[in-house]
Amino acid sequence: MENVVAVKSYAFAIRIVKLYKHLLLEEKEFVIFKQMLRSGTAIGALIKEAEHAQSKADLLNKMNVPKYCNF
* Domains defined for the chain, CATH in brackets: 4-63 (1.20.1440.60)
Computed over every residue of the chain, the mean pLDDT equals: 79
* Whole-number Å distance between alpha carbons of 41 and 49: 14
3-28: per-residue pLDDT in tens?
788 888 889 999 999 988 888 888 77
What is the average pLDDT across 25-41? Answer: 82
* Whole-number Å distance between alpha carbons of 68 and 32: 35
The pLDDT of residue 34 is: 85
Asked if residues 23 and 33 have their Cβ atoms less than 8 Å apart, the reply is yes
Q: Among candidates 33, 31, 11, 9, which has minimal Cα distance to 21? A: 33
> pLDDT over 70 for what percent of the chain?
82
Q: Is the pLDDT of residue 31 over 90?
A: no
Could you give the maximum distance between any two Cα atoms of the chain, in Å? 47
Beta strand segments in 18-63, E: none
The pLDDT of residue 65 is: 52
